[in-house]
């Protein structure tokens, strides 16, 4: 949007980019699964590897708009029980219902420890990180009122999460995208300043940042680097890619019915797509490409239906509780 706008991104733009992001994430998973069943060589393997790398870039987009949206919501309402309940309604309850049903269909919980892991999203790393961000955000914003101190403390909190995961030798996708969430919060906190950035600067930044991302993927040899150097380079790539996406999203409103629907259902798509492919479709005796197509269609249809049903149930229960109160 231009400098006269009141917000960097409207809600529909957020849905649109989330729609793009969930496509990138699912494509990256399908590309990884392809390797489990078939081998590829030459250009086919290069193409598969390219698709497999899309996931991290998609997660960066999710975290950017999640951090921004959370900050804007906190500005409009105080961090109180109602604010927390809305976050539970939008993220945690859908997770519990979808993954809980999947777990039951898969044989249930083998132990109390398995149930505890389910509660904090152990098998869905994205959910674990998102929960940590939400908890940290709520605690910091509830205690501190100064926006600069909030940002500083949340940045330190994020680096502490990254270091803890790195020291535990978790796979890199657990932490390389985490700074994108901070960037979203920064843009929400200092939105007025971001809106004053001249349009030519935003336009110029896009190809400059994109050139680094392309060079990072194609030409940077990380074989001689230490793990710490690789992590720093990955996080720099995350920051530049995320700022580039923010510039693109801020130029004009990005609206589209199909991508908007996918973005609105992105959490459901993320939670459902692995189960639908692995447990429901992959056993079919047909070509792998056809299985992927069937799984993709089934995932979209199921996610939309689940989003509609769970949203209806949550709203109905909320209305009932308000009446009883």
> Residue 324 pLDDT > 80, yes or no?
no
Q: How would you label 106-122 residue by residue, b for 16+ Cβ within 10 Å and e otherwise?
A: eeeeeeeeeeeebeebe
Q: 240-292 pLDDT, tens per residue?
A: 999 999 999 999 999 999 999 999 999 999 999 999 999 999 888 888 889 99
40 token code pair = 């590829």
> Residue 1 pLDDT > 60, yes or no?
no
Q: 98-134 pLDDT, tens per residue?
A: 999 999 999 999 899 999 999 999 999 999 999 999 9
Taking the C-alpha atoms of residue 294 and residue 11, their distance in angstroms, rounded to an integer, is 30
Burial group, residue 72, by CB count within 10 angstroms (0-12, 13-18, 19+): buried
| Cβ partners under 8 Å of residue 60, min gap 6 | 177, 180, 238, 241, 242, 245
> Residue 2 pLDDT > 50, yes or no?
no
> Residue 43 pLDDT > 90, yes or no?
no
Side-chain-side CA neighbours of 277 within 13 Å: the count stands at 24
Confidence of residue 325 (pLDDT cuts 50, 70, 90): low
218 token code pair = 């194609």
Q: Are 256 and 287 in contact (CB under 8 A)?
A: no
DSSP 8-class letter at 197:
S
What one-character-per-residue DSSP string does 31-78 give?
HHHHHHH----HHHHHHHHHHHTHHHHHHHHHHHHHHHHHHHHHHHS-
- Per the listing, tokens 């960037």 go with 183
DSSP 8-class letter at 80:
S
Q: What angle do CA 119, 123, 125 make, to 5 degrees?
A: 100
User: What is the average pLDDT score of the chain?
Assistant: 91
Mean pLDDT, residues 300-320 taken together = 90
21 token code pair = 């992001």
Mean pLDDT, residues 1-16 taken together = 77
pLDDT of residue 4: 43
pLDDT of residue 221: 78
> Residue 17 pLDDT > 80, yes or no?
yes
Q: Length of the chain, please? A: 325
pLDDT of residue 46: 87
List Cα–Cα distances, 136 to 59, 119, 165, 182, 230, in angstroms.
19, 18, 16, 12, 26
Q: Are 235 and 182 in contact (CB under 8 A)?
A: no
Q: 88-106 pLDDT, tens per residue?
A: 999 999 999 999 999 999 9
Q: Give the ranges where 77-146 is alpha helix by DSSP (H).
A: 81-87, 93-105, 112-119, 125-143
Higher per-residue confidence, 186 vs 34: 186
Taking the C-alpha atoms of residue 54 and residue 108, their distance in angstroms, rounded to an integer, is 32
Count CB-CB contacts under 10 A for residue 310: 16
Q: Are 284 and 37 in contact (CB under 8 A)?
A: no
288 token code pair = 């792998």
Q: Are 68 and 187 in contact (CB under 8 A)?
A: yes
Query: What predicted TM-score, i.e. pTM, was given to this entire model?
Result: 0.93
| Cβ partners under 8 Å of residue 307, min gap 6 | 94, 264, 265, 268
Query: Which of the listed ranges 39-48, 69-78, 177-186, 278-287 does the model predict with the highest average pLDDT?
Result: 177-186
Q: 189-244 pLDDT, tens per residue?
A: 999 999 999 999 999 999 999 999 999 888 877 778 888 899 999 999 999 999 99
């Amino acid at each position: 949007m231009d400098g006269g706008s009141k917000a960097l991104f409207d809600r529909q733009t957020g849905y649109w980019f989330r729609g793009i992001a969930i496509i990138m994430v699912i494509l990256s998973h399908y590309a990884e699964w392809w390797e489990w069943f078939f081998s590829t060589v030459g250009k086919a393997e290069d193409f598969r590897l390219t698709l497999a790398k899309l996931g991290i870039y998609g997660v960066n987009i999710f975290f950017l708009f999640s951090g921004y949206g959370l900050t804007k919501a906190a500005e409009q309402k105080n961090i109180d029980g109602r604010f927390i309940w809305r976050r539970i309604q939008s993220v945690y309850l859908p997770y519990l219902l979808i993954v809980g049903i999947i777990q039951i269909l898969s044989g249930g919980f083998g132990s109390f420890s398995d149930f505890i892991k389910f509660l904090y999203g152990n098998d869905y790393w994205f959910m674990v990180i998102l929960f940590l961000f939400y908890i940290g955000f709520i605690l910091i914003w509830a205690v501190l009122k100064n926006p600069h101190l909030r940002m500083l403390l949340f940045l330190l909190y994020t680096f502490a999460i990254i270091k803890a995961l790195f020291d535990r030798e978790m796979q890199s996708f657990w932490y390389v995208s985490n700074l994108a969430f901070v960037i979203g919060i920064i843009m929400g906190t200092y939105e007025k300043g971001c809106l004053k950035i001249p349009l030519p600067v935003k336009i110029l930044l896009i190809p400059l940042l994109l050139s680094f991302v392309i060079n990072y993927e194609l030409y940077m040899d990380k074989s001689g680097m230490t793990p710490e150097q690789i992590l720093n380079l990955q996080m720099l790539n995350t920051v530049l890619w995320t700022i580039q996406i923010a510039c693109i999203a801020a130029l004009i409103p990005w609206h589209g019915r199909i991508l908007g629907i996918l973005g609105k259902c992105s959490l459901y798509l993320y939670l459902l797509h692995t189960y639908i492919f692995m447990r429901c479709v992959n056993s079919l005796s047909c070509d792998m490409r056809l299985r992927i197509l069937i799984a993709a269609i089934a995932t979209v249809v199921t996610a939309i239906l689940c989003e509609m049903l769970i949203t209806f149930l949550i709203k109905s229960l909320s209305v009932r509780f308000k009446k009883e109160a």
